[in-house]
Every structure is written in C-alpha cells, then in structure tokens.
C-alpha cells in the first residue's frame, strides 16, 4: 500500500511576495491584497548582504507556505523584450544558485493568461547591468537580471519558491533611455496583472503523492524510428528528409529538426535523389511508388507491428473479401493501411459505424485494427461487427500493439486511486489520447499535456494524488520534468506501479544498421 500524505489545513496556503521597490510593492498590492490580505506583499528595499539577512530572520516569524520575489528587471537573453515576463528556473547569485523547480507550471499559467513569458535562469548583480555585461550574461544562458532575487531566495527555506520579473530594459533599450518611463509604467501595470496568477500558484502548493504506471513513454517501435533518423544524420549528414512526423511528439520532432532533419508533408517537397525516411506510421503503396519515381534514397522506419497490419491487409484483400479497418480517420497509420487496397478496405471508427456499414458479401468479411486504439473501444466495435457479420474473420493476434495494451492496463491499475491523471504526449498522438480516455473511463480527471508547461495549476489545487504517465511516443525525460515541477510545489512522494517489463527491441533496416 502507498502511504497517506498529511493533509493540508483547509485554509488557503499563505504566500509571501517580496517586492524590492515601493512602486513594485504598490503594483502587487493592488492585485494581491483583495485575494490574500494586506500582509502578503513585503517591501524589502534595495538589498545589501546585511539587510538581506535581516529579512531572512524576519520571515520565520510569519507563517507562510510559499515564497515569491516579483518586480521589474532587465532582459538579457536573445528574444527577451521589454514588457515580457521572465519566470526564473533558477536564481544565480555570486556565491550560490537556487533552483525554482515549479517554474514551468507558473510560466505556463502566465502564458495562458495572455502574457509573453520566458522561463530560464535569472541572475542577481549588485549594480545596474550595462554594455558588454548583457552579452556576458547571455552567453551563460541567463534570460534576465535583477539586484535582489538571489539574496531573497534563500529566505524561502525549502518552501516553494518563485521569482518573476517584468522586463523594462534590454541591450537595445537601456535604462538610460528616453523611453524608460513609458516602459516602466507599462511593466508596473503588467506586474499588477500577474498578481492573481501568483496567488493561483500558491493555491496549488502542498504535499502530494505521484503514482507512476509502468510501462510508460517510448516503445520499441518509437525507439527504432528515432534511432533510424539519428543514424541517417550521423552517416550522411543533414539534411535528412522525413515524410510526416517521424513519431507524433512535438519535442522529438523539434530536437531532430535542430540536428538537421527536414520534415515534409508530401514527397513533392523532397529534392530528387535525396535521402528520405518514412515515418513509424507506415505509408501506402502509392507513396512508395512516388518515391521510386523521384529516385529518392528511402529508409523505411515503419514500426514492424504496423507492417504486420499492412501484410494482413494485402492477404485479406487478395482473397477477394471486404476488409473493415477499425481506426481513426486522418491518422497516418489509417491512411497507409487503407491505401493498400483503395475501395476494398472500409474505415470503421465507432460502434455506430459498425452498426451501419455494408459489405457486398457478409460471408467474406474481415477486420483489422489501428495499432494505437483503446482496448475497450475496439472490443466494443468488434463485438458490434460480429453481431452483424457472424462470419467475420480477424487476425490471429490482436493488432493493437503490446505497448499500447501495456500502457492502458498499467494506467487502469492506478487511475481509480488518483485525484488527477496527467498523460504526457502531443495532441496528435493517438496512443496518448487513448490513455486520457482510459483514465476517464476509470472515473479520474485526466488531461493530455505536452510537457510541464501545459499543466494547469487549477487542476492541482485539490489534487493530492496525481497519476503521471506518457504515451508511447513521449520521451521519458518529459515525465521526469513534470515530476520535478510537481515537487517544486511541495513534498512529493513518488510510487511506481509496474505491470510488465518490456524487453522487445526491433532491428534497424540495413541502410542504417
């Protein structure tokens, strides 16, 4: 059994917000006093090492659950402009760096509220930065600079910490500039407007437990497809063209793009003779023929389990029967399989489709499935088809791949115990969407998130137990980032529930092996 975490008091978490300058404190109080009371905002003044220690001694006398530093600052990083908001992923001082692990949650909430937000390191200096210092800081990855946060951050004393700066000056718009008063007034208005989001961040603070179904994240087919593109880039150098997304995950695609992969929707975008990779979802014979006409150097990254479905489609249609393909319209796997025998394979998406589909000969009908379907949904559809077509034939083994089945079963084992389930995966990932549906069938609140920035703080306010899993196309590191962000809101007890160990590995095609 998993241990029960201590429950938080019914009162809302108490937030202390440190604002260095009087004008910053006034801007924050306009927003926060009605929400948190008149003592939530603490004006610190300009900080020397000495009076920073005084503040650290003062704060323990106040009861608080979360600690934030907010005010105006200077933009350093490329693309950071005046009026933007920087949420610190860490605060760097002269002698220490203090992490802010919940920063992606706060940054994402601010973006959804309409702010232009950057998330990354914030540096503290004891003087106004100017000239070459901007570039020196930018080269270390710093996005913004201030004169207080590092000295204040240690006062949080292991409580959840946030550091937020609204940008006034940048290398192109220095403080000694005629436009500074106008930019400053605009930044103060934005500072006041972000106050309610800070209060929402504090409302989500508290201890939690995280339940991790296993297996989760990458499957063998996804691992193989990504490795194929990586090997192609290593052997041949960029560009390597990839038809469609190699797997359905925005982070994987963006990473490969940075390394030289070029993703195209159709082959007419590929130069003649270029090295081209077919995605893990498979392609139709018509696409293969087009590649031959373009004399493209093709490497096929189709998942072997998808290839199995294509082979079955060819076998069934050769026997002159009708094939009913259970899948989702528009998905690349569906398009590729339907293309094996246009006009001979009919798409069935729902139980309602199964109840009204017609075939020329009810005695000669077969079915196949998309590999990433929900087990429950596909079972219902097959049952409806069998009721109408008693002679219905199916594959000797289930077309739904082992990885999809395992991830859904593992999630069912924990979803009923969770107040909230977060499924890490991209919106166009079928297997990730099916995991959300699986959790909801178990009665859980469930949401699909691309990464920690997508997690809405409002979901977490009453969620003491959170299930976290990932679709087969989502990198494991994204789950780790979500857990780190949740841990930034308070103590996090993590428990893994494993139902299977996956040891399958698919060999690479000869072109890259």
The residue extents of the domains of the chain are 15-203, 208-216+402-498, 220-302, 305-388
305-388 belongs to CATH 3.40.1010.20: yes
| Structural fold of domain 208-216+402-498 | Cobalt-precorrin-4 Transmethylase; domain 1 (3.40.1010)
**End-to-end distance of the chain based on CA atoms, in angstroms?**
45
Pair type for strands 144-146 and 66-75: antiparallel
Asked if 333 is an active-site residue, the reply is yes
311, 395 Cβ separation under 8 angstroms: no
15-203 matches 220-302 in fold: yes
pLDDT at 53: 54
pLDDT of residue 182: 95
pLDDT number for residue 419: 97
Q: What pLDDT is stored for residue 4 in this prediction?
A: 34
Would you call 15 helix, strand, or coil by DSSP?
strand
Residue in 410, 411, 442, 406 with CA at minimum distance from that of residue 219: 406
pLDDT of residue 9: 36
138 Cα distance to chain centroid: 26
Q: Residue 74: which of 29, 135, 22, 14 has the closest Cα?
A: 135
Residue 175 is predicted with a pLDDT of 86
pLDDT of residue 395: 83
Q: Is 265 helix (H, G, I), strand (E, B) or coil?
A: coil
- Low-confidence stretches of the chain (pLDDT beneath 70): 1-12, 46-62, 320, 397
Give the predicted TM-score (pTM) of the model. Answer: 0.92
| pLDDT at residue 46, rounded to an integer | 63
* Strand-strand pairing, 85-92 and 161-169: antiparallel
Enter the CATH code of domain 220-302.
3.40.50.11270
Q: What pLDDT is stored for residue 217 in this prediction?
A: 97
> Any idea which architecture 15-203 has in CATH?
3-Layer(aba) Sandwich (3.40)
The single residue of 193, 333, 335, 340 carrying the catalytic annotation is 333
């Amino acid at each position: 059994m998993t241990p029960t975490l201590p429950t938080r008091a019914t009162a809302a978490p108490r937030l202390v917000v440190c604002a260095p300058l009087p004008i910053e404190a006034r801007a924050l109080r306009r927003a926060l006093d009605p929400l948190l009371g008149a003592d939530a905002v603490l004006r610190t003044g300009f900080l020397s090492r000495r009076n920073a220690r005084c503040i650290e001694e003062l704060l323990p006398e106040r009861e608080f659950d979360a600690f934030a530093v907010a005010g105006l600052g200077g933009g350093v990083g490329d693309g950071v402009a005046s009026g933007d908001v920087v949420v610190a992923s860490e605060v760097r001082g002269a002698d220490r760096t203090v992490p802010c692990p919940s920063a992606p949650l706060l940054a994402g909430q601010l973006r959804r509220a309409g702010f232009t937000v950057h998330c990354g390191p914030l540096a503290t200096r004891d003087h106004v930065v100017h000239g070459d210092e901007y570039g020196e800081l930018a080269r270390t990855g710093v996005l913004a600079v201030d004169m207080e946060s590092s000295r204040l951050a240690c006062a949080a004393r292991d409580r959840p910490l946030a550091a937020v700066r609204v940008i006034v000056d940048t290398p192109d718009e220095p403080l000694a500039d005629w436009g500074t008063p106008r930019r400053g007034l605009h930044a103060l208005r934005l500072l006041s407007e972000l106050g309610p989001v800070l209060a929402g961040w504090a409302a989500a603070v508290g201890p939690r437990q995280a339940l991790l179904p296993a297996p989760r994240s990458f499957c063998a087919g996804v691992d193989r497809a990504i490795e194929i593109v990586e090997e192609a880039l290593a052997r041949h150098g960029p560009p390597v063209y990839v038809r469609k997304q190699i797997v359905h995950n925005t982070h994987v695609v963006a990473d490969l793009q940075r390394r030289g992969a070029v993703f195209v929707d159709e082959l007419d975008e590929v130069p003649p003779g270029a090295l081209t990779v077919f995605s893990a979802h498979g392609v139709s014979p018509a696409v293969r023929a087009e590649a031959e006409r373009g004399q493209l150097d093709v490497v096929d990254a189709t998942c072997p389990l998808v290839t199995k479905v294509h082979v079955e489609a060819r076998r069934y249609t050769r026997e002159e029967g009708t094939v009913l393909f259970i899948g989702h319209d528009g998905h690349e796997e569906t398009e590729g399989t339907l293309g094996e025998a246009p006009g001979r394979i009919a798409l069935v998406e729902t139980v309602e489709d199964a109840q009204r589909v017609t075939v020329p000969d009810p005695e000669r009908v077969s079915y196949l499935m998309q590999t990433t379907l929900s087990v429950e949904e596909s079972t219902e559809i097959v049952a409806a088809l069998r009721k109408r077509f008693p002679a219905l034939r199916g594959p000797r083994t289930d077309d739904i791949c082992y990885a999809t089945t395992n991830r859904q079963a593992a999630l069912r084992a924990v979803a009923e115990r969770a107040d909230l389930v977060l499924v890490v995966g991209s919106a166009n990932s079928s297997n990730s969407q099916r995991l959300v549906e699986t959790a909801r069938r178990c009665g859980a609140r469930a949401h699909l998130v691309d990464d920690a920035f997508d997690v809405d703080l409002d979901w977490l306010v009453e969620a003491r137990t959170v299930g976290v899993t990932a679709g087969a196309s989502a990198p494991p590191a994204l789950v780790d980032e979500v857990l780190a962000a949740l841990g930034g809101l308070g103590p996090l007890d993590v428990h893994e529930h494993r139902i299977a160990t996956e040891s399958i590995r698919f060999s690479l095609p000869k072109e890259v092996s």
